[in-house]
Amino acid sequence: MAGSTYGKHFQITTWGESHGKGIGVVVDGCPAGLALCESDIQKFLDRRKPGKSRYSTQRKEGDKVEILSGVFEGRTTGTPISLVIFNEDQRSRDYGDIASYYRPGHADYTFDAKYGFRDYRGGGRSSGRETIGRVAGGAIAVKILNELGISLLTYARSIGTITIPQNANDLLAACRQNNTYCLQEIETRVLQDPLYMPDRDSSQQAQEYLETCMEQMDSAGGIVEGIVTGVPAGIGEPVFDKLDANLAKAIFSIGAVKGFEIGDGFAAAAAKGTENNDNFCMNNEQVTTATNHAGGIFGGISSGAPIILRAAFKPTPSIAATQQTVNTSGKEISISIHGRHDPIIVPRAVVVVECMTALTILDLLLEHTGARMDILKKLY
Amino acid sequence: MAGSTYGKHFQITTWGESHGKGIGVVVDGCPAGLALCESDIQKFLDRRKPGKSRYSTQRKEGDKVEILSGVFEGRTTGTPISLVIFNEDQRSRDYGDIASYYRPGHADYTFDAKYGFRDYRGGGRSSGRETIGRVAGGAIAVKILNELGISLLTYARSIGTITIPQNANDLLAACRQNNTYCLQEIETRVLQDPLYMPDRDSSQQAQEYLETCMEQMDSAGGIVEGIVTGVPAGIGEPVFDKLDANLAKAIFSIGAVKGFEIGDGFAAAAAKGTENNDNFCMNNEQVTTATNHAGGIFGGISSGAPIILRAAFKPTPSIAATQQTVNTSGKEISISIHGRHDPIIVPRAVVVVECMTALTILDLLLEHTGARMDILKKLY
Amino acid sequence: MAGSTYGKHFQITTWGESHGKGIGVVVDGCPAGLALCESDIQKFLDRRKPGKSRYSTQRKEGDKVEILSGVFEGRTTGTPISLVIFNEDQRSRDYGDIASYYRPGHADYTFDAKYGFRDYRGGGRSSGRETIGRVAGGAIAVKILNELGISLLTYARSIGTITIPQNANDLLAACRQNNTYCLQEIETRVLQDPLYMPDRDSSQQAQEYLETCMEQMDSAGGIVEGIVTGVPAGIGEPVFDKLDANLAKAIFSIGAVKGFEIGDGFAAAAAKGTENNDNFCMNNEQVTTATNHAGGIFGGISSGAPIILRAAFKPTPSIAATQQTVNTSGKEISISIHGRHDPIIVPRAVVVVECMTALTILDLLLEHTGARMDILKKLY
Amino acid sequence: MAGSTYGKHFQITTWGESHGKGIGVVVDGCPAGLALCESDIQKFLDRRKPGKSRYSTQRKEGDKVEILSGVFEGRTTGTPISLVIFNEDQRSRDYGDIASYYRPGHADYTFDAKYGFRDYRGGGRSSGRETIGRVAGGAIAVKILNELGISLLTYARSIGTITIPQNANDLLAACRQNNTYCLQEIETRVLQDPLYMPDRDSSQQAQEYLETCMEQMDSAGGIVEGIVTGVPAGIGEPVFDKLDANLAKAIFSIGAVKGFEIGDGFAAAAAKGTENNDNFCMNNEQVTTATNHAGGIFGGISSGAPIILRAAFKPTPSIAATQQTVNTSGKEISISIHGRHDPIIVPRAVVVVECMTALTILDLLLEHTGARMDILKKLY
């Protein structure tokens, strides 16, 4: 039960099902005095909207956000911000037949096992539409981080078997300006790409790959990569609330994620200590690291270097090809899932990864405010 | 701050530093009536002890656990179980010189950045000895899970570049008995192997690999794999407290973990839907899946199939080879770390992964008890 | 920050301001399979509505609840239930002038001190309308408790200086039937009384008292008393999450509460042990107590006897009489607050106390489900 | 289950039973850089020690605290501080016979109902000795508050039917110095009184009252009052984590508390708005209130005025007089409890109330650090 609230300080509570009246989120713990309007949030929601390319479902989802509380005269008041996105396009007839069987790769069976029955309309609470609440809340977190000098860049690293040739550190090297990074140019490129990839050639190949998938009534997965610059050293708690541990949970709580890495990730497991250690050095009188295999985190605490993470998404389970499964009466049957489904969710998941990353970093940044007596004595 | 407590129901709070007076854990929320004595816990602590092979530090750590509370007449009372392991071998002279500089790959710099200073003796709170509390608490969780018919098997899958040839599903197939699995034989094999690998040939190669590392004053990483059988369908909460999300956090909170996967993990990102979907079928009148790419979890909820996870550990950062770094005065220096360090921590980390897995599954299993009105009406 | 979520298992998150777009609550952790419709909730909201007697504000507040999620085909699904009550009657001109000064007894000054500014329309988040979310969520908790055999009776014990002659144990004695209590008759009487008092004579006197208050442009406080029968023995956690401790927090979180008691409360402080101890005895082969000074709780855990609690409410701070205060520029001024204000909030607060009580007991009841190995073994 | 952890930021987890090996507390979230040694904590523990007057048990409890972790070179490191007090005087034969029956007023029956059995030695976890962990953790909270300019004064207001003539505001008026208060003189007087009362005559009468109780083999209750000065305006969260709500829970979680009040408490319920409202006025260019009926809190947020609270303690349930009860076989019996018991626990509870108050205020003070964008921009 419960489990729909994320965060300790900047706390989001999401609600809503795919084909219910709407989807929403209550953001509690937002610092007072932040300038905030609906368009700040809408532009993030638009990034996860379907129908932007032919590789995502052609449903028209308006997904217009409405602020119901917590903002007064254009600024946050410190009290809960309630955001709602009413569902518009609820063609429930598309989904009605799934009530009687368990779709492979979906949560139909596990919801039934857990609760005794389920809202079968479009996946109910386990639908991808659940992420709308995360994105709406995350958009506010991103805005706060930006005001504190922290920037996020998130993009599709792989689509199926197609992977961009650059790694995150290559991309960062290209936008380095002394001790800071200017991510704007690359961000613009990503936002203009139909698959949210930062490399045009890879995107072209990925589009061809997806064409083939669609012809074969099949689907594809992929990898989302995220970079965060400007996080001050010292964020993250030792032991259980490590920055990387909380990021792992945040990203893994997104449906369809099957793997997560920080820095070199699984590759580090095959490296030697001499190869993997990041030597410390000085740069403009700042302690920094010569390399960034660690992805900006040591002992669960940020080092000031860019944070680098990756999430593996499985292929969309809804496919038109014929599949074997069982129905709710325990009979084995053959099915073929029709309707409007994305052959891949990775491009739409990019903004979700960005938002969960922002929510996590902001939450630990707020956690850190009381860590030292010298700082407390200045505050009080 | 805080962050030393894990779990919502079965809750552990760990404390202690590498070279302080001791290490401990308070286990709160343990169900009453469990038979429990110190040897139940000690056998898990012995699995993480150093000095068992020549690939782990030769310090003699007695690590004897003492139960200080919460057990009466051999059974848990439902109140907090306080466990303490007093430190015996505290040769602080080995570590004294690290007060003045930041070791590459360690948390020295980030602790200083966070708190303004640090306990530099042996890494203080960021030492691997911090995991003793997790293992002591996790041993109790494992015992409870076992009594509920749930079994765990954890082992080293890779050491450096050496990987066992079998995947988790292969190993499971070998111990399948109708709808259940008998992991005992393979568990015995793992516990007898000096590197906790389930494959003798791979272990032999891995030992040679480590010899070379040690000669080169270098270190190695690796991958730990875990399998859990007998988890009933329905465990895990939709949205943020998904079973896989909580496992990701739990495992990533172990120092040195850089990657985490469930089921096929990153490989799923390159697969197609037709390949990755697990078709449902009937087996002995039970709904089950024909394959297990998902690692036993759909929509964050257990399906009843074995849960499969993997964690990537980076190579031990303490190496004898010369490294560049900076000291606390901001000067660039060369260092070479001597003393008793493991060239690899993976074998000792196996039991830590098992314990964090057990703690997470038990916690969500307790969370699930109130999920349905029909069950509540039977209880009250 | 945060602080708008209550409960660990059955969790409510409230949002909304007096004169914003609406008020709402997200109920997370509601067990699946509960029959639920809007009228189940509406009848509780109607009990806190203004305009029911001439002692409460004459604003017409429709306060119609709408279920936005979490209910499918008439039953709860186990996922979050989002409830919204859109504000209808928002005559903000009534309140505009309070932006410039701090009303005595209100939270105007403390909100400014905390957040740097405030939503001054009708008290914003500190308005009594905030309790709508609690009542909406609490109505569901009451319904669940009722299905588990637990009943709640809440009423006004005192209005200003007028107190009913019976104490809670007297009222209980009148409805005792062997080991159970039938509260229905007295509940009906309370719900029909304009001040929600269980004693007609006292209510008559209290109405006269309030008439005088209104003539004098003054306001009154009072005491709300609550009784809960049918709570099984064993609910509540030792140490910090004692049943009485959690009730104390729940009730004290209602605006205007200044005192809280369990059982004999402050009177117990002046009693002797021989007078205050409740002797145990047998009744129908059940362990019970001969008296109930303790109010049904020993060591923070329910004993099976009726739980008895009382909350003291201060007089409404909004009064028409002239008062001295300061404005936001730090100047001392005289003010007189006009507009539609209740001369007393106690009658409308009765249902709020009942709902917070229900939320707390249900939450600890769900906490208790995993307390014993013997019960867990039956469940799994 | 669980429930042995208190606080969100400055978090204490207590463990231990009356007659087990020891009692302890883990303090997590203590800001780094606080000078701390064992005597800082010991002096608080000494205030709750028995054997200081003839009105408390004559057991010799050394209760020497030992710091096991979290302090390095005399300063807190920001990581968990583990404190242990080993039990010395464990004459378990005094308590052995209570295994077979339920003592009136104690938690014997409710523990059995909850857990199926109980540690019957001296009350086990429900013993007053459980408060040792609270006091040890609270001592650190008090030290931090003191460094931030916040002072606490706590004392016995009533013993049985004897009450001091002054109320808290009278006592405060005597130590006012412009906008601040110097509590030291009165604190010294309280600490020197055998019953921790601030009024010598009342203490004399109370001692005579207790003599009579003891002669009659009876026991007494009383009221503890606490004052906190120097809390800045703005502490406390609207809605559920109100400063007064969290104080109510904290104080009510102390065994034997049956009532709690803030400011005028229950008396406010009988007052009129004109009497109870605290008018705002200016003092040395600071907003303040002319009176303090509210006890320093409006809308759950501190106003800067002194915080005033009261807790009612029931008489000690262990009395030598003959009582009726039932045994664990369900038979009605007569008992008479012998052994070393306090005829009153109020004087020893004074420091417990002070510590729970300090823990609560510090926790909300840490919560407040991230409440405003302007403050966050200064920190990061």
> Number of C-alpha atoms within 13 angstroms, CB side, residue C136?
29
- Cα separation, D333 vs C127, in Å, equals 54
The CATH code for residues D5-379 is: 3.60.150.10
Banded model confidence at residue A373, pLDDT cuts 50, 70, 90: very high
* pLDDT over 90 (residue D62): no
Summarize pLDDT for C97-118 with one digit per residue, the tens: 789 999 999 999 999 999 999 9
pLDDT digits (tens, 9 = 90+) for A121-140: 888 899 999 999 999 999 99
- Asked if residue B90 has pLDDT above 70, the reply is no
**C-alpha distances in Å from residue B252, one per residue of A238, A260, B313:** 12, 10, 10
- For chain A, say whether B16 makes contact (Cβ under 8 Å): no
Tell me the per-residue pLDDT of A322-358, one tens digit each, with 9 for 90 and over: 999 999 999 999 998 877 678 999 999 999 999 999 9
Q: Do A79 and D238 touch (CB under 8 A)?
A: yes
Q: Which of A26, A260, A350 to mutate to test the interface with B (most CBs of B within 10 A)?
A: A260
Would you call D351 helix, strand, or coil by DSSP? helix
DSSP codes, A213-274: HHHTT--B-EEEEEEEE-PPTT-S-SGGG-HHHHHHHHHHTSTTEEEEEETTTHHHHHSBHH
Tokens in use for B164? Answer: 């066992």
A chain contacts of residue C121, beta-carbon cutoff 8 Å: 72
Whether the per-residue pLDDT at D122 is higher than 90: the answer is no
Q: Cα(A84)–Cα(A243) distance, rounded to whole angstroms?
A: 30
Task: Per-residue pLDDT tens, chain C, 380 aa: give them.
Answer: 589 999 999 999 999 998 899 999 999 999 999 999 999 999 999 999 875 666 666 555 589 999 999 999 999 999 999 999 998 865 555 566 789 999 999 999 999 999 999 999 888 899 999 999 999 999 999 999 999 999 999 999 999 999 999 999 999 999 998 778 999 999 999 999 999 999 999 999 999 999 999 999 999 999 999 999 999 999 999 999 999 999 999 999 999 999 999 999 999 999 999 999 999 999 989 999 999 999 999 999 999 999 999 999 999 999 999 999 999 999 999 998 877 678 999 999 999 999 999 999 999 999 999 999 999 999 98
Looking at beta carbons, which residues of chain A come within 8 Å of C16? Answer: 68-69, 80, 82
Contact A331, A265 (CB under 8 A): no
Q: What is the DSSP letter of C271?
A: S
User: Exposed/middle/buried for C322, CB within 10 Å: 0-12, 13-18, 19+?
Assistant: exposed
Taking the C-alpha atoms of residue D366 and residue D31, their distance in angstroms, rounded to an integer, is 10
pLDDT digits (tens, 9 = 90+) for C280-307: 999 989 999 999 999 999 999 999 999 9
Instruction: Reduce the DSSP state of residue C71 to 3 states and report it.
Output: strand
Residue B58 has pLDDT above 70, yes or no: no
The Cα-based distances of A176 to A292, C159, D170, D269, D380 in angstroms read: 14, 70, 65, 65, 21
Mean pLDDT of D174-196: 92
ipTM above threshold 0.95: yes
- Name the nearest CA neighbour of D98 among D344, D318, D257: D318
Q: What is the pLDDT of residues A177-220, one digit of tens each?
A: 877 899 999 999 999 999 999 999 999 999 999 999 999 999 99
Nearest to D325 by CA among D316, D334, D317: D334
CB atoms within 10 A of CB D260: 30
Which residues make Cβ contacts (< 8 Å) with residue D378, sequence separation at least 6? Answer: none
Partners of residue C85 on adjacent β-strands: C23, C65
Please state, in angstroms and rounded to a whole number, the distance separating the CA atoms of residues C314 and C317: 8
Contact A380 D372 (CB under 8 A): no
Among the partner-chain residues B1, B277, B326, the one whose CB lies closest to the CB of A280 is B326
pLDDT at A74 over 80: yes
Task: Sort out which chain B residues have CB atoms less than 8 A from A282's CB and list them.
Answer: 326, 330-332
Nearest C-alpha of chain A: how many angstroms from B337?
12
Name beta bridge partners: A25: A14, A83
Q: Contacts of residue D372 in chain A, CB cutoff 8 Å?
A: 31-33, 78
Residues forming a β-bridge with C180: C177
Of B263, B229, B254, B252, the C-alpha closest to B148 is B229
Q: Residue B26: how many CB atoms within 10 A of its CB?
A: 32
Distance (Å, rounded) from C-alpha A44 to C-alpha C136?
32
Beta strands at A222-229 and A151-159: parallel, antiparallel or unpaired: antiparallel
Give yes or no for a contact between C186 and C154, defined as CB atoms under 8 angstroms apart: no
Q: Is the Cα torsion angle A300, A304, A305, A309 positive or negative in sign?
A: positive
Query: Is the pLDDT assigned to residue D51 strictly greater than 70?
Result: no
Cβ neighbours of A69 in D, within 8 Å: none
**Chain A residues inside the 8 Å CB shell of D71:** none
Is A10 within 8 Å of A366 (Cβ atoms)? yes
Question: Residue B373: is its pLDDT beyond 80?
Answer: yes
Chains that touch C (3 or more CB pairs under 8 A): A, B, D
What contacts D52, CB < 8 A, 6 or more positions away? D194
Most B-contacting residue of C13, C374, C376 (CB-CB within 10 A), to test interface: C376
pLDDT at B380: 87
pLDDT band with cut points at 50, 70 and 90 for residue A47: very high
Q: State the Cα torsion D322-D325-D331-D337 to the nearest 10°.
A: -50
**Chain C CB within 8 Å of residue D128 CB:** no
pTM of the model: 0.97
CB pairs under 8 A between B and D: 172
Output the pLDDT for position A96. Answer: 61
DSSP letter for each residue of D28-66: ESPPBT-B--HHHHHHHHHHH-SSSSTTS--------EE
Residues 6+ apart with CB under 8 A from A91: none
Do C14 and A42 meet the contact criterion of CB atoms below 8 Å apart? no
Q: Is there a contact between B371 and A213 if contact means CB atoms under 8 Å apart?
A: no
Q: Percent of chain B having pLDDT more than 90? A: 85
Decide: helix, strand or coil at residue C259. strand
Q: How far apart are CA C89 and CA C84, in angstroms?
A: 15
Residue B273 C-alpha from the chain's centroid: 31
E strand residue ranges, chain D: 5-6, 11-16, 22-28, 65-67, 71-72, 75-76, 81-86, 151-159, 162-163, 176-177, 180-181, 222-229, 257-262, 280-283, 286-289, 297-298, 301-302, 307-313, 323-326, 332-335
- Say which of A147, A366, A374 has its CB closest to residue D33: A374
**Model confidence at A91: pLDDT above 60:** no
Higher local confidence (pLDDT), A51 or D76 = D76
Query: What confidence score (pLDDT) does residue C82 get?
Result: 98
Residue A232: closest C-alpha in chain B = B113
How far is residue A376 CA from its own chain's centroid?
Answer: 33
- Taking only the tens place, the pLDDT of each residue in B259-285 is 999 999 999 999 999 999 999 999 989
Among chain B residues, the shortest Cα distance to C362 is held by: B370
Are C21 and A77 in contact (CB < 8 Å)?
Answer: no
Q: Using a CB–CB cutoff of 8 Å, tell me whether A374 touches chain B.
A: yes
User: Mind giving me the DSSP string for D129-142?
Assistant: GGHHHHHHHHHHHH
Are residues C376 and B369, on separate chains, in Cβ contact within 8 Å? yes
φ, ψ dihedrals at C82, nearest 5°: -100, 125
Q: Cα–Cα distance between D250 and D243 in angstroms, integer?
A: 11
- CB contacts under 8 A, D 161-190 vs C, are 161
**Nearest 5°: CA angle at A154, between A148 and A155?**
165
- DSSP class of residue B147 equals H
